[in-house]
Amino acid sequence: MNTQLTKLKNNVIEELKKIAGSANILTEYEDRYCYAYDATAIGEELYLPDVVILPENKYQISEILKIANENSIPIITRGAGTNLVGGCVPLKGGIILHTSKMNKIINIDKNNLQCTAEPGVIVEKLQQEAEKQGLFYPPDPASLKVSTVGGSIAQSSGGPRGFKYGTTKDYVLALEAVLADGTIIKTGGKTIKNVTGYNLNQLITGSEGTLAIITEATLRLIPDPEERQVLLACFDSIDQAVKAVTGIISAKITPSTLDIMDKNTMQTIEKFHKTGLPTDMDAVLVLEVDGFKESVGVQAEQVAGICREFGAENIRTSRNRQEADEIWFARRSAFGAVARLSPNVLTEDAVVPRNKIPDMVRNIRRIADKYNLTVCIMGHIGDGNIHPNFSLDLRNKDEAKRFEKAVEELFDAALSLGGTLSGEHGIGFSKSAFMHKALDKKNLELMKSIKNVFDPKGILNPDKVFERR
């Protein structure tokens, strides 16, 4: 029962209550039990935080950090807890800072094409508000209906639109963040161009809560494309699909989405939802083109033509919003369908150069066969970011072990093809053990010294990104 009690001293808890208010501090075992996980399947391991705090503003966060730093208490920031690499899991206990109450959009500056938001704002909410002003915030992680601005910056999230529009990192103009010692800093600025000194913005973006805690972000917006059209094209082999993609890009067309799903994924989707995907084809491409009304039709026609040239069958082109939604529904139900196969889903996100995708897919299939695992392959073919979704039951110790081995081989394969460990999910603690394979010693040393400058006591999301000490 001892584990049920918080390790923090009473006076620390009292001080925290004074800062954030008693109602925003959770210390009961049952409350903390519900903050011991994120969206990563970690089996029956339990990493209990000592306290959960729901801060309301940056000043509270600053005061909380001063106490945490003084007492060397680990502090883990959590947005919606949709992290897939265990980033929000409190490995060493400590404080969970849940940003759900800091959820205001501060402004949308239409003339300067930017907006400022608190970290707890939901990404989709930001997109909707921007759209009302005729503007567009492109980053679209699959979790965008729940995931937060703060979390997506900390992870530098991507999404299907990465190929044309880039990822979260390409939209961060300025950040306000709190350092480990409680100092509030501002990085970047309101201008698109900015080479005044080192780019600290980009250093904090994607740092997974290990360097600073983001309390406000100014994000770049772009004009909302007038029209969008979605195409679905089926291929006999993944090689042909990749060739078609290369063909599309060579024809000087830049689709806003270039997604792929393999046969297993299509069969799994069709098992649960009847979306009309062909279950006998090897791969399907989901393509979206956008732009001015006149150009979209032309692009869609050309894309369809090129796909046909490379042997595509059953090409479907959306003629209206509803048909587009239907195609997107099929693509978006992929994760859910895999989730229904077995209790646990583990989504990997190694990334390789685009022309190596057929090799990577072959490798994934070979490794899955070798370790007798069920895998559905989907992902963003335009930027080489492939997501093998492994469906398994972690209670089955043997299966869990086989999965562990498979993942290591998967990373080796990606690295040998010139790719890297993660495209958009991050390292967290799921992949930290493989960092030395992806980066050379000096590189890692540099990163660790940066971490040390920002957070000398190592209280910010400890044991993430770098291997556990």
Q: Which residues contact another protein (rule: CB under 8 A)?
A: 26, 28-31, 33-41, 44, 46, 52, 54, 80-82, 98, 100-101, 103, 120, 122, 124, 143, 145-146, 333, 335-337, 339-340, 343-345, 395
Q: Which is nearer to another protein, 273 or 457 (CB)?
A: 273
Tokens 């290369």 appear where? 246
Least distance in angstroms from the C-beta of 50 to another protein: 16
- Report how far residue 217's alpha carbon sits from residue 117's, in angstroms, rounded to the nearest whole number: 6
Q: Which is nearer to another protein, 29 or 292 (CB)?
A: 29
Q: Which is nearer to another protein, 25 or 368 (CB)?
A: 25
Least distance in angstroms from the C-beta of 334 to another protein: 10
- Report how far residue 183's alpha carbon sits from residue 118's, in angstroms, rounded to the nearest whole number: 18
> Side-chain half-sphere of 342: how many Cα atoms within 13 Å?
18
Q: Which is nearer to another protein, 103 or 199 (CB)?
A: 103
- Report how far residue 289's alpha carbon sits from residue 295's, in angstroms, rounded to the nearest whole number: 9
Least distance in angstroms from the C-beta of 461 to another protein: 18
Residue type, 127: Q
Q: Which is nearer to another protein, 37 or 163 (CB)?
A: 37
Among candidate residues 429, 335, 333, 332, the one with its CA nearest the CA of residue 390: 335
Q: Which is nearer to another protein, 81 or 188 (CB)?
A: 81
Write out the two tokens for 176: 């306000």
Q: Which is nearer to another protein, 124 or 170 (CB)?
A: 124
Q: Which is nearer to another protein, 316 or 464 (CB)?
A: 464
Least distance in angstroms from the C-beta of 20 to another protein: 13
Cα 186–chain centre separation: 24
Q: Answer whether 215's CB lies under 8 Å from 176's CB.
A: yes
Least distance in angstroms from the C-beta of 31 to another protein: 6
Q: Which is nearer to another protein, 61 or 122 (CB)?
A: 122
Query: Counting every residue, how long is the chain?
Result: 469
- Report how far residue 215's alpha carbon sits from residue 81's, in angstroms, rounded to the nearest whole number: 17
Among candidate residues 263, 265, 422, the one with its CA nearest the CA of residue 336: 265
Among candidate residues 93, 148, 181, the one with its CA nearest the CA of residue 462: 93
312 exposure class (CB count in 10 Å sphere: 0-12, 13-18, 19+):
buried
Least distance in angstroms from the C-beta of 341 to another protein: 10
Q: Answer whether 287's CB lies under 8 Å from 327's CB.
A: no
Least distance in angstroms from the C-beta of 29 to another protein: 7
Least distance in angstroms from the C-beta of 42 to another protein: 9
Q: Answer whether 115's CB lies under 8 Å from 105's CB.
A: yes
Give Cα separations from 294 to 226, 228, 229, 315, 316 (angstroms): 10, 11, 12, 21, 19
Q: Which is nearer to another protein, 66 or 332 (CB)?
A: 332
Least distance in angstroms from the C-beta of 181 to another protein: 27
Q: Which is nearer to another protein, 41 or 51 (CB)?
A: 41
Write out the two tokens for 404: 């562990």
Least distance in angstroms from the C-beta of 337 to another protein: 8
Least distance in angstroms from the C-beta of 80 to another protein: 5
